[in-house]
Chains A and B, each alone.
Chain A
Amino acid sequence: MDARVPFCHTCGVIQPPRSIDHFACLGMTPTFEIDPQELERKYFAFQRTFHPDRFAAKSPKEKAISMQHATNLNQAYDVLNDTLSRAEYLLSMQNSEEDAPGCTTVNDPVLLIEAMELREELADASDAETVSGIIQRTQADIDECIEELKPEFADGHLEAAAHLTTRLKYLSKLMDEARQRQLQLIKSQ
């Protein structure tokens, strides 16, 4: 169990949240591989306990504190539920330096060229079919990238993990752009 004891053990009044990481906030251990259903189950269970709706009849102070808890839970769930942001967050937990990993400048020429090529291809695509081809391929790349990330995080190879996370970030961004492009093309038809 995590180190949160948010209620006074004699009178049961809610206490302010402590500064803990997002994993601890949701009672999870900090790992890259998580069971999404488990995450959701814990998120719901904690929200059931801390949501301001549970404190509507309490004092303004207690309401405000429960709001802080619920805000933290939403934030934690938001970060951990998405694979890319979970990877970035894990790296930032290990890394005390200022600049968040994944945002570091790309000095890998292979990655850079791959990203540029894919982007050009997307810019040249003029029909929905080509774009959906790009989307399928990018999705496969994303899945592969995530598979590669798993052992690196599990074995604590942070440098390799950071490298793959940067790639994942590029791929996700490309995916967003491709989806938007597809939408544009469908709407303009």
Chain B
Amino acid sequence: MQLLDIHEPGQTPVPHQEADVAVGIDLGTTNSLIAFSEDNAPEVVRDANGKGMVPSVVAYPDGANEPVVGDLARATILDDPHLVVSSVKRLMGRVLADLKTISGTLPYEIAEADEGQDRMVRLIVGEKHLTPVHVSADILRALRSRAEASLGKPVSKAVITVPAYFDDAARNATKDAARVAGLEVLRLVNEPTAAALAYGLDKGSEGVYAVYDLGGGTFDISILRMEKGVFQVLATGGDSALGGDDFDHAVVERFLAERRSETQSDELSTGDLKHALATARLAKECLTSQDDGEWILGAGDIETRHRLNRETFEELISSLVDRSIDICRDVLLDSGLGAEEIKGVVLVGGSTRVPLVRSRVAELFGQQPLADIDPDEVVALGAALQAEALTVGSDTLLLDVIPLSLGIETMGDLVEKVVPRNSPIPISRAQEFTTYQDGQAAMMIHVVQGERELASQCRSLARFELHGIPPMTAGAARIRVTFAVDADGLLTVSASEATTGVQQEVAVKPSYGLTDEEMVAMLKESMEHAKDDMQARVLAEARVEAERVLLSVASALEADGDLLDQSERAHIDQAMSAVVQACQHTDRDAINQNMENLELATKPFAEKRMDRGIRTALEGVNVDDLKQKVEAGQDETE
């Protein structure tokens, strides 16, 4: 490895790129945090008062251009409840029909969808109709400016955490929100995994750990193994509609029932409900340290008083906590491990402060859970570490899994699983299906996610049709459906018919995601906030890449040019000068086009070189040596 490169002026092999700052973001249901890590020492970005948590609450004041995010927005909930949105994470990637499955009374006003429309829900906020993606993007933008102000550098890349149990729709929606906020998502990391990273690197602990993560709106349990710098998720499970918010709802329902019997009146506006929820939350928090208390509901003109002690509170939430414990048992079973094999239990999420939660978890695992790192901050810290690992490099490696099985609907509403849950990602799996009618020319492919037996009980991800199947007798066609899940847990499905090669591909998104027009409109809007010109940036990137490739090809020609005959060599030279020419103009597409040509032209050369490489460079090399070679090779390119 060279320590110092000296180059002729103007011939630096890789143009100096501005060091992009990458942060870790915990985009939570109730609170969000942003953290930054340097030299493996992550820190949460705090405001002047030392507060790291930003309430995930956005207010859209009448007449104002900019939304208000955080504590200020939360403060206005009580005055202008109809202009304030909270807990929007629960709605990420959801369609209207999904809302029925979200428990409790929702403090949102949801726009009615047009007939037959299967699109992400819209929130009515004053005059506006906003998607959850829009609201989340506003939170992300606020976090981003907080970090930029604190670090004094532009922030453009982030690792964003999502509940392990988030489905494909919610993951895509999160990625979209980041894009709208001008952040490149380096990776979506599951929250429990991020928490484990924060603990693991801190302590260098080895063994199997459970991460119990009860946040505001979601519950996750993951079993992870940490060994020799590899973090391997063994099993994961959860409930994307179970969290501390449900505790609040349980309390509010009791308060409201008491109120009804006292006042004989049932009238409550959305605003009153938000008010009542805020009171219930306060009650919950007080009962963590106190044994009892009294709270006042002041909706309308009538004031009512409500006493609650910890014992009653625990009765109210007991079935909710039990639900999480049942899920823990199932996941343990999935991992093939007994509770006694778990070396430690990590608590994540503010709701794990509730004493009943702690005692039930301790009971199940037979040990006191770990809570050395602030459960509110641990996820953001882990995300920051991962952001550093992805940009600067790291010795640890994270091997994550897919939380929910993926399959397609077959005859009779049945589900054929193609990728089982807890499979390590990235993954690609193919399965063959056939036609069930003579001469069938098209096939509907319905992609679903979940563990239930019936397709209608699973989450529908996408429907698409494969056309152009040649007429054959029933069962003769061979339709191969391939599921590919990338490292972010996002799915692409493609289908092809074997005898004709008819192919169809779909990035699983359209049925409930945002339409392209909406995405463009939101990006345009966000561009007004963006400082740099996107177009110029994209062009610069294309040029940098072109320059890098030209240099690589040149050095390869120098090393192994003897493998080529004259005409092959001329072909490559020609393609190279075409790229050089294109780079002098501002047409990015032309650059990319010529780059593709160059790649085609050099392909035979690359193959010849690889063959030579096998014979010479790596004779008798074992894995570890290969790794060293690889790392040395990578350093050279950087």
Contact = CB atoms under 8 A, between A and B. Distances in A.
Interface of A: 1, 3, 5-13, 15, 27, 42, 44-49, 51-53, 56-57, 59, 67, 70-71, 74-75, 77-78, 183
A67 B486 contact: yes
Given A5-B614, A67-B487, 9 more contacts: A1-B619, A1-B620, A8-B552, A8-B613, A9-B617, A51-B487, A70-B426, A74-B423, A74-B426
A49 B618 contact: no
* Interface residues of B, dominant DSSP: helix
Interface stretch (B115-123, B390-398, B455-463): B390-398
A6 to B, nearest CB: 8
Interface string B394-420: 000111000000000000000000000
Complex A-B, nearest 8 residue pairs according to Cβ-Cβ distance, in ascending order: A12-B633, A56-B390, A11-B552, A52-B487, A71-B426, A5-B613, A74-B424, A9-B613
B626 interface: yes
Contacts of A48: 230, 397, 627
The residue among B397, B556, B619, B620 with the most chain A CB atoms within 10 A of its own CB is: B397
B622 interface: yes
Contacts of B623: 27, 42, 45-46
A183 B618 CA distance: 51
B428 interface: yes
A53 B397 contact: yes
Contacts of A52: 426, 486-487
Interface residues on B, range: 35 or more
A3 B614 contact: yes
B6 interface: no
Nearest to B429: A75
B299 interface: no
Contacts of A75: 427-428
Contacts of A10: 552, 555-556, 559-560
B390 A11 contact: no
Given A59-B545, A78-B423, A11 B627 contact: no
A12 B545 contact: no
Contact of A71 (B399, B428, B618, B634): B428
A62 to B, nearest CB: 10
A107 B487 CA distance: 44
B544 to A, nearest CB: 9
Interface in B290-330: none
24 contacts: A1-B619, A1-B622, A5-B613, A5-B618, A7-B629, A7-B634, A9-B559, A9-B613, A10-B552, A11-B637, A12-B634, A12-B637, A27-B623, A44-B397, A47-B230, A49-B630, A51-B397, A51-B399, A52-B487, A53-B397, A57-B391, A70-B426, A74-B426, A75-B428
Contact of B617 (A5, A51, A53, A57): A5
B34 to A, nearest CB: 19
Contacts of A5: 610, 613-614, 617-618
B561 to A, nearest CB: 11
Contacts of A59: 545, 548
A137 B548 CA distance: 62
A11 B555 contact: yes
B613 to A, nearest CB: 5
B636 A12 contact: yes
A57 B613 contact: no
B427 A56 contact: no
B606 interface: yes
Nearest to B391: A57
A78 B484 CA distance: 15
Nearest to A1: B621
B361 interface: no
B487 A70 contact: yes
Contacts of A44: 228, 230, 397
Contact of A74 (B427, B559, B627, B630): B427
A67 to B, nearest CB: 5
A15 B230 contact: no
